[in-house]
Amino acid sequence: MTWKVIQWTTGHVGREAVKAIVAHPELELVGAYAWSPEKEGQDVGELCGIGPLGLTATNDVEALFALGADCVSYTPNHPDVDEICRILEAGLNVAASNVTNFRTVGDTARARVETAAVAGGVSVFGSGIFPGFANYIAAQMATVSQGFQRVRFLEAVDVSSYNAIHNYANLGWGQPPEPKWEQASREVLGFYDECLDVMADMLRVPIADRRFTCEWAITPEDREYFGFAMPAGTIAGQKSTWQAFAAGQDESVLELDVCWVAGPGLDPEWPIHHGYSMEVEGNPNVQTRVRFRPQKQGRLADYLDMSNTITSMPVVAAIPTVCAASPGIRTYADLPLITGYYSPRD
Ligand SMILES: NC(=O)c1ccc[n+]([C@@H]2O[C@H](COP(=O)([O-])OP(=O)(O)OC[C@H]3O[C@@H](n4cnc5c(N)ncnc54)[C@H](OP(=O)(O)O)[C@@H]3O)[C@@H](O)[C@H]2O)c1
């Protein structure tokens, strides 16, 4: 069976999603949405650096809906609930890089998304590397313990080689530290908080309480990466922690620690191991480390694309499963196994 897919924007993650959809044996790219006026009418393959595909990007949403597609691969720079509802009501499934279960957008908005999905007879699912694949793997690790007390997960990354580093501007990076940026992180990164729900659902942990904390690292001198400036004295790193507690427990059961820095020499200077450390406390304790290396090493572009590849792949890989799922908001806790696909060596 082949599922027809529309790519919604062709930014950093979207470009990699297009490559993945075109290469996927069960998917067919049938259209692409352009938010940027200058992309309108351009060949989607050319926009994504893979040569012409004979499909043009368009901002004509009704024309896209008329293509008879099964699913939208949704990767704009922020999720728009109205837009997602419109896609779902049009009868298209949504696999997204920027949503989890919509809890933190509020009950009303979440109910609208659920209603739109049911009305359209389709489902909406979010993944990526994290939120998404990495916290799913961390939860799966608890399977081998005879009872577990905690699943803890640490992402520690130097984002100075991340070509979408400008996305941290809405967390206050490049600005002096102020309490308002903690609230901004709480809101903007809400779909990270929702990962606790997915892990709790997967592991049947009753969450009684949650906590979010945030610390900043400050740059002592002016620095700039990919045109994004962080003057001396401003935020250039962030450690965010989301914790879930069971009733009557002082220690968290689920904990997500996320440490991002824009280069070395920040104050404070946190250790960065580039990747994911995952730990299950139980009988036995389980530890793993997930790291990534480009297939073709040596080219800077391959390193730059890699973070977008590992974000887009869990989304694209999920499309057949999302299309086959029962209508509504779906997460890893209620979908069957999602995997990559075999590709013979050249
Ligand atoms: N789950 C994960 O692991 C993970 C990891 C990284 C990123 N993400 C999320 O994935 C999403 C895409 O990230 P990205 O780095 O690809 O983003 P991006 O390149 O900065 O932006 C993606 C596209 O969004 C469109 N866009 C820009 N400004 C817009 C606006 N004001 N309103 C509506 N659309 C706008 C543009 O569409 P055009 O293509 O038409 O120009 C742009 O190319 C983000 O929400 C990000 O938070 C998730």
Whether 34 is in the pocket of ligand 1, judged by its Cβ within 6 Å, is yes
For residue 11, the ligand 1 atom closest to its alpha carbon is 43
Whether 77 is in the pocket of ligand 1, judged by its Cβ within 6 Å, is yes
229-239 burial string, b = 16+ CB within 10 Å, else e? Answer: ebeeebbbbbb
Whether 167 is in the pocket of ligand 1, judged by its Cβ within 6 Å, is yes
Residue-wise pLDDT for 178-216, tens only, equals 999 999 999 999 999 999 999 999 999 999 999 999 999
Asked if the model's pLDDT at residue 298 lies above 90, the reply is no
Total domains in the fold of the chain: 2
On whether both 253 and 278 belong to a single domain, the answer is yes
For residue 127, the ligand 1 atom closest to its alpha carbon is 1
Rounded Cα gap, residues 28 and 18, in angstroms: 10
Residue-wise pLDDT for 264-276, tens only, equals 999 999 999 888 9
On whether both 166 and 195 belong to a single domain, the answer is yes
pTM of the model: 0.95
Measured by CA distance, the residue closest to atom 31 of ligand 1 is: 77
**pLDDT mean over 105-134:** 97
Check residue 274 and give its pLDDT: 82
Whether 75 is in the pocket of ligand 1, judged by its Cβ within 6 Å, is yes
Give a yes or no: residue 341 inside a domain. no
Check residue 234 and give its pLDDT: 98
Assign 299 a pLDDT band (cuts: 50, 70, 90).
confident
Asked if the model's pLDDT at residue 77 lies above 90, the reply is yes
Asked if the model's pLDDT at residue 129 lies above 90, the reply is yes
Report the separation in Å between the CA atom of 13 and the middle of ligand 1, taken as the mean of its atom positions.
7
Assign 133 a pLDDT band (cuts: 50, 70, 90).
very high
**Sign, Cα dihedral of 305, 307, 310, 313:** negative
On whether both 245 and 280 belong to a single domain, the answer is yes
On whether both 60 and 156 belong to a single domain, the answer is no
Asked whether the beta carbons of 255 and 150 are under 8 A apart, the reply is yes
Rounded Cα gap, residues 148 and 134, in angstroms: 18
On whether both 121 and 149 belong to a single domain, the answer is no
On whether both 200 and 55 belong to a single domain, the answer is no
Whether 10 is in the pocket of ligand 1, judged by its Cβ within 6 Å, is yes
In the beta sheet, which residues pair with residue 216?
238
In terms of residue numbers, what domain contains 86?
A: 3-126+308-330
Q: Work out whether strand 123-126 and strand 328-330 pair parallel, antiparallel, or are unpaired.
A: parallel
Measured by CA distance, the residue closest to atom 17 of ligand 1 is: 77
On whether both 104 and 152 belong to a single domain, the answer is no
Asked if the model's pLDDT at residue 173 lies above 80, the reply is yes
For residue 308, the ligand 1 atom closest to its alpha carbon is 6
On whether both 222 and 78 belong to a single domain, the answer is no
On whether both 137 and 286 belong to a single domain, the answer is yes
